[in-house]
Structure formats: structure tokens, C-alpha cells
A and B are shown apart, each in its own frame.
Chain A
């Protein structure tokens, strides 16, 4: 543990530049959206306190907005606002809105009627009553709302990294993808501290007596503005094209680091979530993205894979990995899972992905259609001899594979199946397997090698480009280290790939990564 902390400290001091800029971005995002939320929420709260008939509708809408899952909200915004700071700020603003509107409303409604009547009877105008009576008296409640909104925003702002808006989420989600605990903590700890600190500061302001509060009220907006100013909008573009890479790709030898060292590629890069990356490329927000070669969205959004002419992307052959104990517990399992071995090629997988991602067919249906067409489908036996637990990562391909395996097991054995799909990344999936939460999930040889085993660079380099060597190496090492067995590969190779829009690729005459580098150097 001590060692762990030390290495965390080392990681943080080694990455202090990045940490500082991410923290400032985080604070900036939180406060810019907070200012906007106050600018919108406060007047709305006042309005519905005046016209109470509207209160149900306005609070209802703000409440519904609040319940939209954050990643979905970010996704909705890409077609309209693109990626980067703008949609992130708008999303945060939407989440901050409800507590501010609601507390402004309750604060004003809660003021003693007699005080309001006295104010009217003294001849104060509506504006005077608002500024001198209602707002000051409602202020403690309004501040409580702002406080809630701030804490919510610090939390949700971690998701801003999904759409290239920066913040501490870059470390957190990068760390989850890369199985790097220190990286996760380097993002999560400052984010938590930030939430606690801001909450404490605002509670101080809230507890100040009304008299002092009047002065604090003038300072408050200034502080918010300064903090909001930390967020320098993404600086001027360094190149004519913009790349969007996932946090995982950014941190990997066979990703951005390899692109830089092997190809010498210099491109303006932003960090973005896999979930929205393709859409952003399609919407021309991004020009180059780090996709997966079998991704259905490749077909859906008409993207072209740039040829990896210097072979930096290692093979990623998919195969189920199973705990030894599960193989003992379910003797039929290995044989059943191997039924799929060699059955799905790259193009079949891309097509299956296309059906779910673009045609929006259910993974169950896609899985069943596939099994029927290959003659592997058998009706479920509804057996009760124990339950096999299948895991999957949180993207379409893994959902389909999980469904296929589920049907194969139900049709060919007497086992029942429970699926735990949508585990948010390699680390989470693998930890679930190691901790006996699932029995198997589909993994990729390259991920097993570079993310889970992390051998020294010379071994990695030696292995990385040979399909057989990689598979043999990970099989042996997993067995030795983790007591986990790699079953036979399914067939397709879902490796990393750089992609561009077909049309742009033609226009610029860029077909390989080397072409891309040449184009960038010229412009």
C-alpha cells in the first residue's frame, strides 16, 4: 500500500503540468456553466415565483432534463454544438439548472407574507421589493441551491473528457481504459477534493449572517468569474486537421505514442470518448479518429481506414477468456464456446456491428440471425444446471458476442445464463473476472498483452506484430499469472485504426498514415 501511494505521488508529480491544467480546466468548466446556470436559473426562479401557474411546468422540464443520462445528453449535443467546451458547458448548465431554479423559487415563496405586504404598503416598487427584500431574504436558500449545483457540476464535469472538453475526467477515464490505478486516482482524488473544498467554501458563505452576506454578494460573482476564466477555450489549432483520440489510445504505445515515435505524426489532438467519436467525425468536427477496424460505425458513417503502413497497431484477435474454475464447474463450457472459433471474419463482424450501431437492431436479433445463418442456432433447453455469467465491455461488438455466447450455451448445454453487459472498460471487465463476478468475457490479444500484462517494451515490440506469437504469449502468461484460459480465437481482428471520412480521404488523397503525415507536413 505504501509503495502504491508512493508511486501515485510519483505519477502525480511526474504529470504535474497535466494535472494542473486539467484541474484548472475542471474548475473553469464547473464555474462557467455555473455562471450561465445562475444567469438563466435565477430569473426563471423569480418568474415562476411571480407566476405560480408556470412553476409546475418549468420545474417539471428542469427535472426531466436532470434525469437524462449525462453521456446521452453529451451525445445529443454533438450534431448541434459539436465537440469540446461548448456542449460540455451546456450539458453542465442543464444539470445545474434544477437546483438553482427550485431553490430560488422556494426561497422567494418562503418569505413571510407580512414582510412582503409591509414592503408594498411602504410604497416600494416591484423592483425594489425584489432587490431589497425578496432576494436578500431568499439568499440563504438560493445559495444552498448554488452549492448543490456546484457539487453536481464538479462530478459531471469529469464526463466532459468524453467530448474533448478536458478536465480531470481525462485521467479518470484514461486510467480506467489503461488499467492504470495511479492515473485514475490522480484524476479522482483532486476531483473529490475539489468538490469537498467548494462545498465547504459555499457553506461558509451560506452561514454568514445576512449583513455580511450583502458584501459577500458583490464578491461572489467576481470570484465565480475569475474561476470561470481558468478555462481557456482550446487553444488555436496547430494544424489544419484535427484528430480525436480516446483516452485509452492517447496513453498507449500502440496508440498515439507510437504514432508520434514511429510516424512522427504531428496533429492537433483532442481527447474524446469512443461513444461520440464517430459521430463527431461524421459531423466534420473531427478529421482523423482512432477507431476500431471492425466497428459498424465505420460503415454507417462512411469512414475509411488509413493503412498502417509501418505496422504500429498490433493484432487484436478476439477470444473468450475464462476462469479455470469456471471451466471445471461447467465442463461443457469450453467445447460450446469453441463452436464459434473461426466463424466470424473481419467483414462479418463489421456487418454485425453495422446492424446494431446503424440499423439499430437489437443485439439479440443480430446474434440470432447470425447463428441461424451459420446453422449453429439451437432452441434454448432451459436447463437448470447452474448459471454461467457472461461479461462484456461497453460497446456494440461485445454486446453481440455476449448474446451469441448466451444462445450457444442455452442451446447446447443445460446451463442457465446471466449476462453482465456494459462493464465500462478493460479494467472493470477484467477485475470482475478476477473477482469471480463473471465467468468469462471476450477479450482481444493485443489488449491482453499491452494493457493487462504490460511486459517490458522489448518483449512487447517483438510480439506485437505477430498474431500467433501474441496469442501464445498471452495464453501462457494468463494461465500462469491469473489462472485464466484463452480459448480459441473467434476469427476477426479488431485492431486500432486511424480513419477519415471517405470523401475527405479522396479529396486530400490520403490513404495511409504516411500519406497523412506528408499532408500535414505540407500544410
Chain B
């Protein structure tokens, strides 16, 4: 659990962060979203005291972080950054083992944990003896993630973790990231300027502008109940894509055809519209069987899906 209370920071005459507050629940992922210069990265870096706030307090698990030795604090918080910051003179194995070595873990434990992680992160064994410059950007970012996760910290801070990757690599890593069991148990604060990424990964989003919090809420709340013009305009360009991501089959259940009897396999109604569309794009599947809330089953094809989605959208806008 992380809590920020009225955090402010000035750099010279510039008010970088102004009375920022939020609370991140245990195992929740909060994404700080905003344009560059909005204060999101500064806010993030104050959580592990890379930057000290001028005013306000930060609590992690109800402990005020200013009472802790910053080096001890940081060893307990995973940190992933856009530029990865791997040590060029260390091998991949040494880079991953950095914090455990500082904590004086024994060798066997470090080796076991390293192997466990590279397997989860789809890195190959032979990369361990390589140096960072021998790896691709995507592989480096996986190593960066492994370095942050090796001590299994309960809190993870991520500063534009996928920002330096090309689109294809980013999408695949985001997916893996979302699927990673290890990350589901963590309290995560992540910074991004990419709206789609925020909607893809966030439990809740904290939209920031000019150092201040504009709105905090779930992706759906941000999309359908924007608090002001800034919030509305921020998402305007990608409304449709975002809607596909945040709305799931259960939401549009009532706009879909009648229930049927079906005894084969079925998909969950938790599926987002986007995911359902992707499944339907496979040419051998004309229809999906979806099991809804009361174990009822509906069969839908692409047309029925888009029709149901449009009806739901219209209903939301006229509310």
C-alpha cells in the first residue's frame, strides 16, 4: 500500500509537482498518465527518494518513508526505467544479481532465483554470461525487469518501462507483462505518456497535468466520466480503441442475441471487446460461445459483436 499526501516539489522557479495525492492499494497497478513535463516521473522518483519532496508525506505500508534509510528503502522497492540503466561492465547474471549481492544472499539462492526469473521472462540461459550491449532492446528490458523483481519486492516502480522499444516488441512485452503471475502480487506505480498502454495495464489511472492530479479513476471512469475538458480531450484521439479495451462482453450482454444451449467450450464474458474481436479475426472461427454471469451461454459473430457494442456506446453517451 502506497499513499501520497499533498506532495509538492519545486525545481528552481518551476513548480514540478503540486499537492499530489493518491493511494495505491495492495496488489493494485496505478498508472501515472500525462504529457511530458507534467510531473509524473518526479512524483514516481519521490516514492523511492531519488528525489526528495519539498512538502507532503509519503507512506509505504503505513510507514513514513522519510524515517527510513534511503538505501534500505530502495533495496526493498523494484525499479524499472525507460533507459533500463544496466551496468555495461557487468554480465547479465551480475546485473540481475546486483541487489541480492548487496543484501548478501548466498550464491545458491541467487542462482536459483535468477534461473526462475529468466525462464518466466523468456530469456535464454546463454544470455546470462553476455554483456548488456550484446542484447536487443527487448531482451535488455526483460533483464531490467528481472533485476527489479529478483528480491520479490512488494512494491514496483516503473518509469516508462516500454518507452524505448519499437511497437511490435512493446506490444508483445506488454502482453507478457500482463500475464506474469509474479506481477499480479505486486503494488505497482507506473509512469507512461501512452494512453493505450495505460488502459492496457492499469487498474486505476491517475491523470496529471502541470504537476497536479486531474482525475483518478478506473479506465472506464476516465473514458465515460471525464472530470473536465482536459481529461476528455486527452483521450479524444483514441476513444474507440480505448472503448474496445475497457468494455467487456458482460457490459454489452443485454445487447447481444438470445441465450442458447451449448455444451462445448466457451469463453468468459470478462473478455474485452478488443480481445473478442481478435479471436473472431481468426478465419476458422465464425462465432464465439460466451458464458455469461448466470452460466448462460450466448453465441456471437463479428457483426453481432459490433452491433451490441454500438448500442451500448449510444446508451452510455445518452445517460
Across the interface, which residues of B come within 8 angstroms of A120, CB to CB? Answer: 50, 74
Most chain-A CB neighbours within 10 Å: which of B50, B72, B86, B88? B88
Given contacts A112-B85, A120-B50, 12 further A-B pairs with CB under 8 A are: A112-B83, A115-B85, A121-B48, A121-B74, A123-B73, A123-B75, A123-B102, A124-B102, A125-B71, A136-B89, A137-B88, A211-B89
Q: Does B242 lie at the interface of the complex (its beta carbon under 8 Å from any beta carbon of A)?
A: no
Q: Does B99 lie at the interface of the complex (its beta carbon under 8 Å from any beta carbon of A)?
A: yes
Across the interface, which residues of A come within 8 angstroms of B83, CB to CB? Answer: 112, 114
Contact string against A for B residues 25-59, beta-carbon threshold 8 Å, 1 for contact and 0 otherwise: 00000000000000000000000101000000000
Q: Does A122 lie at the interface of the complex (its beta carbon under 8 Å from any beta carbon of B)?
A: yes
A123 near B99 (CB under 8 angstroms)? yes
A117 near B71 (CB under 8 angstroms)? no
Determine the distance from Cα of A119 to Cα of B48 in the docked complex, in whole angstroms.
13
- Contacting residue for A137 out of B84, B89, B147, CB 8 A: B89
Q: Which residue of A lies closest to B73 (CB)?
A: A123
A115 near B87 (CB under 8 angstroms)? yes
Interchain nearest-CB distance for A125 vs B (Å): 5
Determine the distance from Cα of A484 to Cα of B300 in the docked complex, in whole angstroms.
118
B98 near A122 (CB under 8 angstroms)? yes
Q: Does B269 lie at the interface of the complex (its beta carbon under 8 Å from any beta carbon of A)?
A: no
Contact string against B for A residues 106-131, beta-carbon threshold 8 Å, 1 for contact and 0 otherwise: 00000010110111111111001000
A122 near B75 (CB under 8 angstroms)? yes
Q: Does B79 lie at the interface of the complex (its beta carbon under 8 Å from any beta carbon of A)?
A: yes
Determine the distance from Cα of A128 to Cα of B84 in the docked complex, in whole angstroms.
19
Across the interface, which residues of A come within 8 angstroms of B88, CB to CB? Answer: 112, 115, 137, 210
Determine the distance from Cα of A405 to Cα of B256 in the docked complex, in whole angstroms.
118
> Taking A122-B99, A123-B75, A124-B71 as contacts, is the C-beta distance between A117 and B87 under 8 angstroms?
no
B81 near A123 (CB under 8 angstroms)? no
> Taking A114-B81, A117-B50, A117-B81 as contacts, is the C-beta distance between A122 and B102 under 8 angstroms?
yes
For chain B, residues 85 to 133, give those with C-beta under 8 angstroms from any C-beta of chain A: 85-89, 98-99, 102
Q: Which residue of A lies closest to B157 (CB)?
A: A121
Across the interface, which residues of A come within 8 angstroms of B79, CB to CB? Answer: 118, 121-122
Q: Does A12 lie at the interface of the complex (its beta carbon under 8 Å from any beta carbon of B)?
A: no
Q: Which residue of B lies closest to A115 (CB)?
A: B85
Q: Which residue of B lies closest to A125 (CB)?
A: B71
22 CB-based A-B contacts, threshold 8 Å: A112-B83, A114-B81, A114-B85, A117-B81, A117-B85, A118-B84, A118-B86, A119-B87, A121-B79, A121-B85, A122-B102, A123-B70, A123-B71, A123-B73, A124-B102, A125-B71, A136-B89, A137-B87, A137-B89, A210-B88, A210-B89, A211-B89
Q: Which residue of A lies closest to B82 (CB)?
A: A114
Q: Does A133 lie at the interface of the complex (its beta carbon under 8 Å from any beta carbon of B)?
A: yes
Q: Which residue of B lies closest to A121 (CB)?
A: B79
Across the interface, which residues of A come within 8 angstroms of B86, CB to CB? Answer: 115, 118
Across the interface, which residues of A come within 8 angstroms of B98, CB to CB? Answer: 122, 124
For chain B, residues 135 to 177, give those with C-beta under 8 angstroms from any C-beta of chain A: 147
> Taking A122-B79, A137-B89 as contacts, is the C-beta distance between A114 and B74 under 8 angstroms?
no
Contact string against B for A residues 159-186, beta-carbon threshold 8 Å, 1 for contact and 0 otherwise: 0000000000000000000000000000
Contact string against B for A residues 194-233, beta-carbon threshold 8 Å, 1 for contact and 0 otherwise: 0000000000000000110000000000000000000000
Most chain-B CB neighbours within 10 Å: which of A122, A128, A133, A211? A122
Contact string against B for A residues 135-153, beta-carbon threshold 8 Å, 1 for contact and 0 otherwise: 0110000000000000000
Most chain-B CB neighbours within 10 Å: which of A118, A120, A136? A118
Determine the distance from Cα of A124 to Cα of B76 in the docked complex, in whole angstroms.
12
Contact string against A for B residues 18-29, beta-carbon threshold 8 Å, 1 for contact and 0 otherwise: 000000000000
Determine the distance from Cα of A122 to Cα of B81 in the docked complex, in whole angstroms.
11
B72 near A123 (CB under 8 angstroms)? yes
Determine the distance from Cα of A22 to Cα of B86 in the docked complex, in whole angstroms.
49
Q: Which residue of A lies closest to B74 (CB)?
A: A123
Determine the distance from Cα of A475 to Cα of B147 in the docked complex, in whole angstroms.
88
B71 near A114 (CB under 8 angstroms)? no
For chain A, residues 90 to 120, give those with C-beta under 8 angstroms from any C-beta of chain B: 112, 114-115, 117-120
Across the interface, which residues of B come within 8 angstroms of A121, CB to CB? Answer: 48, 50, 74, 79, 81, 85
Determine the distance from Cα of A112 to Cα of B81 in the docked complex, in whole angstroms.
14
Across the interface, which residues of A come within 8 angstroms of B75, CB to CB? Answer: 122-123
Determine the distance from Cα of A406 to Cα of B147 in the docked complex, in whole angstroms.
80
Q: Which residue of A lies closest to B72 (CB)?
A: A123
Across the interface, which residues of A come within 8 angstroms of B71, CB to CB? Answer: 123-125
Most chain-A CB neighbours within 10 Å: which of B85, B88, B147? B85
Across the interface, which residues of B come within 8 angstroms of A119, CB to CB? Answer: 85, 87
Determine the distance from Cα of A122 to Cα of B98 in the docked complex, in whole angstroms.
8
Q: Which residue of B lies closest to A139 (CB)?
A: B89
Determine the distance from Cα of A115 to Cα of B87 in the docked complex, in whole angstroms.
6
- Contacting residue for B85 out of A118, A125, A136, CB 8 A: A118
Across the interface, which residues of A come within 8 angstroms of B87, CB to CB? Answer: 115, 118-119, 133, 137
Interchain nearest-CB distance for B149 vs A (Å): 12
Q: Which residue of B lies closest to A136 (CB)?
A: B89
Interchain nearest-CB distance for B16 vs A (Å): 17
For chain A, residues 293 to 341, give those with C-beta under 8 angstroms from any C-beta of chain B: none
Across the interface, which residues of B come within 8 angstroms of A124, CB to CB? Answer: 71, 98, 102
Q: Which residue of B lies closest to A111 (CB)?
A: B88
Interchain nearest-CB distance for A353 vs B (Å): 62
Determine the distance from Cα of A137 to Cα of B89 in the docked complex, in whole angstroms.
7
Q: Which residue of B lies closest to A210 (CB)?
A: B89
Determine the distance from Cα of A114 to Cα of B16 in the docked complex, in whole angstroms.
20
For chain A, residues 221 to 274, give those with C-beta under 8 angstroms from any C-beta of chain B: none
Determine the distance from Cα of A211 to Cα of B91 in the docked complex, in whole angstroms.
9
Smallest CB-CB A-B distances: 3 pairs? A118-B85, A123-B75, A123-B74
Across the interface, which residues of A come within 8 angstroms of B48, CB to CB? Answer: 121
Across the interface, which residues of A come within 8 angstroms of B85, CB to CB? Answer: 112, 114-115, 117-119, 121
A128 near B74 (CB under 8 angstroms)? no
Determine the distance from Cα of A34 to Cα of B112 in the docked complex, in whole angstroms.
46
Contact string against A for B residues 62-74, beta-carbon threshold 8 Å, 1 for contact and 0 otherwise: 0000000011111
